[in-house]
Amino acid sequence: MKKLLLGICTLLTGALSAQITPLWLQNPAISPDGQTIAFGYKGTLYTVSAQGGTAIPLTLFDAHNMMPVWSHDGKQIAFASDRYGNFDVFVMPASGGTPKRLTMNSAGDYPYDFSPDNKKVLFKSARNAPAKSVRFSSSLFPMVYTVAVTGGRPLLVSAAGMSTAHYNAKGNEIVFEDIKGYESDQRKHATSAVTRDIWVMDIAKNTYRKISAFKGEDREPIFAADDNSIYYLSEKNGTQNVYQQTADLNAAPTLLTDFKDNPVRYLSRSTDNTLCFTWNGEIYTLRGGAKPNKVIINLSNDGDAGIAKEKKVNGNISEFALSPNGKEIAFVSRGEVFVTAVKDGETKRITNTAEQERMVQWAPDGRSLIYATERGDSWDIYKASIIRKEEPYFYASTVIKEEPLIATDKDEYQPKLSPDGKKIAYVEERNVLKVYTIATKKTVTLLPEGHNHSYSDGDWDFNWSPDSRWIITDDEMGYFASSNTALIAADGTGTITYPVNSGFGEYNAKWALGGKMLTWESSKLGRKSLASQGSQEVDVYGVFFDKEAYDQFILSKEDYALLKEKEAKPDTAKGEGHKVTTALTAHDPNKQKDSTAKDNKDSILKLDFTDLEQRQVRLTINSSSISDYALSNDGSKLYYLTAFEKGFDLWVTEPRSHDTKILAKLSGSPSNLEMSKDGKNLFMSSNGGLIQVDVESGKVTPISIDGNMMLDATAERRYIFEHAWRQVKKKLYAPDMNGVNWDGYKKVYERFLPHINNNYDFALLLSEMLGELDVSHTGGRYYPNHTNQDETASLGLLYDETYMGKGLKITEVIAGGPIDRTKSNIKAGDILLQINHQPITDSIDWAVLLNHEAGKNVLLTLMGPDKKTWEEKIRPISLGKEADLMYKRWTKIMENMVDKLSGGKIGYVHVQGMNDGSFRETFDQVMGKNREKQALIVDTRFNGGGWLHDDLVTFLSGKNYLRFAPQGNLLKGGEPLNKWQKPSCVLMSESNYSDAYIFPYAYQELKIGKLIGMPVAGTGTAVWWERQIDPTLIFGIPMVATIGKENRPTERLQIEPDIKVPLSYEDFLKGQDDQLEAAVKEMLKEAAANGQRQLP
């Protein structure tokens, strides 16, 4: 009996230890009877009693499952799952069972509600709006559909662009939160024009009424059971809480919860109006008149946390460094340091941490590596060394000793050992250049704070001179986005010298010819983007610190050959066997096999700074997009990676003869180049791997990396969380963190890390933490790398998606699409009956018939209004190409509307993005087909930003100061020739973001013209989106504030239009754009006034 009791106790103890209390619970949904809650945890759906208890899993499929929605009879649950590579809507019995897939389109589909009769699921999807709608075509504004719970064709309910939509009990209205523009859903405490509001749609009338007036966030509305009021979430009291209000804009809302510090999320209700939601990662219920009740949930521990998995190391190489002997390569992959043998690819993992290592460098003896690592509370510099003397190579070594070299509470990274191995140059706190003497452990500052400002870590560089006495470094001299090469004594004495100091800047500077020459890249003679901040072509240049070396370098090929011949002959005046050494060969390692004390003394550089501008040479014969370059030891050949065609190829040029050719056709990715010490081989990365190129033959040899690593994704996510928190603290544009208790919020969110096993949840966690800062341009983003995912093709057609008959009713053939051709008879009003002889019926989602069909031959069967049928064969396009066509379609509609409303007098252009491509298109249209127009509408709505503000305001601010009259004929226009000189206005809306905020801000400040439309939230801050060691993850840091006339950051400074015009749902859905009409009216008025002011 005692043994039996002992066994029972042991079982109970084991059961209890396997139970956990889960946190970071997502999307709870309470059942209609109020007895059960469905929720998501670690990508799996569970149900649990509303009173609490042990949760039972609903989904077991290896995919991410989320957003459970109950049917109103409590018998079914709809949810979203990415088991086919994108999120689709599924439905399953509430008691468990096999889920049924309801949607087949590769656009993301997400369920919101069931219809009141439980026969359909209401869901959102990023698809095309109806042909009549004139709202901007974007996935930002999803369509809302219904699909039968038995499956079949989705039917359009609304093209308004809804989020979190729910029916009322009668089924005649839908309440939803609106979407006005771009911003993270997890941003908190914002008060601006772009924040969300609550609306109600009358389904039968297709009309919309606004019911919330708060200038901040109003979110996630649901009707009360009696339809007389609405529950929703709002930040009215500073923190997002639950409110109740009648469906009237003027009604006073009632606060139902009063949580502090963290937002309430994921509101749902039962038929007796019991509310369910999350707060601080846990689930609560709220019954009428009571206080919120935390639902205590137990869960069987799935044991997945902390399980490391083996991963091949054969790609994703972020950087590399060639060993001094050329036989090994150190590289970084997924934040770990590895060394591989050049010859056979044998690979050894040097570091084994969850934290990131980067910026690896070799010691001169090849037996040590130094690198930066972010362990503890800062970036530090470490050294890894081979211990056993009989082991000459890292890749074949057994025991590695790792030790910190420079480790303080500050960030130190980007270490570079001096050629003599005695000193380390490094960056402190991103902007300061220092040199550390290993023997004395003393540090000197070469470039103090105030010279450089790092945008992304490692974005400014420096290099040691061959004699270890000098350093060349990028120096912005306190300016923004411009850098010159500075030369500084490594001991910190003397003054800073700028050997070139070009207005075009110098980049990627390197020592050459043993320190007698400095090389760099410059855009001085290269073609540039039309926009000032676009791409540009560069050349490689050189300047000589040694006049004799310069004189020899500029010799013709024939004269230099004579000099080499003389060098090879004995100098009889100095005795038998003594050879002449020229300035260009004195440093060549292949010609200096015997080293003496005198040689070492002579190797000290003597830098001649006089008349340097007279000793500059251009090494490339034509400008191009150069990734990196390497000059041969004797300066006779320059190798460079550049892109003229598809991808980057390796080119070689001979500066004396200017003979230039492709050495190796790679079609690869940008990379740095490293030359072996003997000058015989070049090494580079290409498409994530490493390759070796013979400099004589151009033979390309891939370096086959044979290695594995154990990846602990849980530990890696914990590090990325810590890194993101620290990185934002170091780099946010506001040093005071906007008054946010950043340390406190780290504690709030890090406790959820043990409850996250996937990057969907982890990116959400980052977004929630970063959202506490109430700034733009931030949040975590996850880009899954699915294989064999669904990809719906497009036929290039628009349909009547409310049509319920046989086939698909075509409403428009998209211009430029695969059907827009002379041989096609397809037109609006026709019915698409079949795809590849598969009938389109109400019982299938027709998207399944176009899965993976892009670029393939597809047979369509069609029927015209006369009931006659025919077949046509086409090649569908991808949804991405369709999106491009839909953008062009929208701009054409806008142009036609302006032309019609103005009688052809007013021009129109839409600026799609703040980039060079958009600027070229703008210039092309404005100075082309709109040149004769009397005024111009510049539409910036739905522009997500970039860097173009100054180009645009300069282009639009032309004022005529000179005209031309050949033979007495006064010509039109005049100087400035390439600027718009007539009236203009800017259309803007809540959807302007980032640099699309700065442009209208500058346009208004410079009084160029009027702003028309809706206010724009203050988002004029430069961002760095930083990719993580897990390359599927990035997060944003708004780093550089812009300061205007208000002498404060423009972040959170809203722009008000001169003429305020809202864009109503009813109008744009029927083809009317009130904002555009107001702009035309204003421009006609200004054009008339301007015409009276014109010179005769």
Summarised one tens digit per residue, pLDDT across range 577-616 is: 445 455 565 555 555 444 444 445 557 999 999 999 999 9
Do 1053 and 735 contact (CB within 8 A), yes or no? no
**What confidence tens digit (pLDDT) does each residue in 481-528 have?**
889 999 999 999 999 999 999 999 999 999 999 999 999 999 999 999
pLDDT of 859: 98
pLDDT for position 8: 36
What's the pLDDT score for residue 506? 95
pLDDT for res 561 = 84
Q: Which residues pair with 300 in a beta bridge?
A: 19
Cα separation, 720 vs 355, in Å, equals 8
Q: How far apart are the C-alpha atoms of 3 and 338, rounded to whole Å?
A: 54
Share of the chain above pLDDT 70, in %: 94
Instruction: Tell me the β-bridge partners of 382.
Output: 371, 404
User: How many C-beta atoms surround the C-beta of residue 75 within 10 A?
Assistant: 14
How high is the pLDDT of residue 936?
99
What percent of the chain is predicted at pLDDT more than 90?
88
Confidence of residue 14 (pLDDT cuts 50, 70, 90): very low
Catalytically annotated residue among 768, 1051, 1082, 1086: 1051
- 845: exposed, middle or buried (C-beta count within 10 Å: 0-12, 13-18, 19+)? buried
More confident residue, 1053 or 603: 1053
The one catalytic residue among 777, 794, 949, 1086: 777
Lowest mean pLDDT among 524-533, 665-674, 1081-1090: 524-533
Q: What is the pLDDT of residues 24-61, one digit of tens each?
A: 999 999 999 999 999 999 999 999 999 999 999 999 88
pLDDT tens, residue by residue, 983-1040: 999 999 999 999 999 999 999 999 999 999 999 999 999 999 999 999 999 999 999 9
Contact 430, 411 (CB under 8 A): yes
Q: What is the pLDDT of residues 412-441, one digit of tens each?
A: 999 999 999 999 999 999 999 999 999 999
User: What is the rounded CA–CA span in Å between residue 935 and residue 633?
Assistant: 61
Q: How far is Cα 397 from Cα 230, in angstroms, rounded to an integer?
A: 69
Beta bridge pairs of residue 115: none
Q: Which of 166, 476, 994, 1082 is catalytic?
A: 994
Position 305 pLDDT exceeds 70: no
In the three-class reduction of DSSP (H, G, I as helix; E, B as strand; rest coil), residue 1050 is classed as: coil
| 994 counts as catalytic | yes
Query: Do residues 516 and 549 make contact, with C-beta atoms less than 8 angstroms apart?
Result: yes
Flag whether pLDDT at 618 surpasses 60.
yes
DSSP secondary structure code for residue 830 in this structure: -
CA 685 vs CA 663, 672, 1026: distances in Å: 16, 7, 21
CATH (one of 3.50.50.60, 3.90.226.10, 3.40.50.1100, 3.30.930.10) for 903-1018+1054-1093: 3.90.226.10
Give the mean pLDDT of 886-915: 98
In this structure, are residues 30 and 278 in contact, taking their beta carbons and an 8 Å threshold?
no
The predicted pLDDT at position 250 comes to 87
* pLDDT tens digits, one per residue of 267-298: 999 999 999 999 999 999 999 889 999 999 99
What's the pLDDT at 303? 57
pLDDT recorded at residue 11? 38
**DSSP string computed for 732-761:** -S-TTGGG--HHHHHHHHHTTGGG--SHHH
Residue 683 has pLDDT above 70, yes or no: yes
Q: Which of 246-255, 396-405, 538-547, 635-644 has the lowest mean pLDDT?
A: 246-255
Q: Please, what is the average pLDDT of the chain?
A: 94
pLDDT value of residue 147: 98
Mean pLDDT of 249-274: 96
Please say if the pLDDT value at position 209 is more than 90.
yes
Residue appearing with tokens 């300066």? 635
- Residue 928: both structure tokens together: 């082309």
Q: Is 824 annotated as catalytic?
A: no
What separation in angstroms does the CA of 635 have from each of 516, 544, 583?
11, 12, 11
**pLDDT the model gives residue 3:** 41
| DSSP 8-state code for residue 792 | B
Q: Among 11-15, 925-929, 950-954, which stretch is predicted with the lowest mean pLDDT?
A: 11-15
Per-residue pLDDT, averaged over 873-898, amounts to 98
pLDDT tens sequence across 343-357: 999 999 999 999 999
Q: How many CB atoms lie within 10 A of CB 703?
A: 21
Euclidean distance between CA atoms 214 and 317, whole angstroms: 49
Q: pLDDT-derived band of residue 1093, with 50, 70 and 90 as boundaries? A: low
The answer to whether 761 and 43 are in contact (CB under 8 A) is: yes
Phi, psi of 37 (to 5 degrees): -120, 130
- What is the Cα–Cα distance from 341 to 347, expressed in whole angstroms? 6
- In whole angstroms, give the CA distance from residue 123 to residue 93: 18
* Block residue for tokens 């019911």: 211
Q: Across residues 574-578, what is the average pLDDT? A: 50
Q: Which residues pair with 1011 in a beta bridge?
A: 986
**Each residue of 816-858: pLDDT tens digit?**
999 999 999 999 999 999 999 999 999 999 999 999 999 999 9
CA distance 941 to 140: 13
Cβ burial 79-103 (10 Å sphere, 16+ → b, else e): bbbbbbebbbbbbbebeeeebebbb
Domain ranges of the chain: 422-498, 516-527+537-590+599-694, 711-768, 793-877, 903-1018+1054-1093
Cα separation, 739 vs 367, in Å, equals 48
96: left (phi over 0), alpha (psi -120 to 50) or beta: left
DSSP string, 489-547: ETTS-S--B-SS--TT--EEEEEEGGGTEEEEEE-TTS-B-SSTTS-B-BEEEEEES-H
Rounded to the nearest 10°, the torsion over CA 819, 820, 826, 828 is: 120
Per CATH, the homologous superfamily of domain 793-877 is: PDZ domain (2.30.42.10)
- Residue 1048 CB neighbours (<10 A): 12
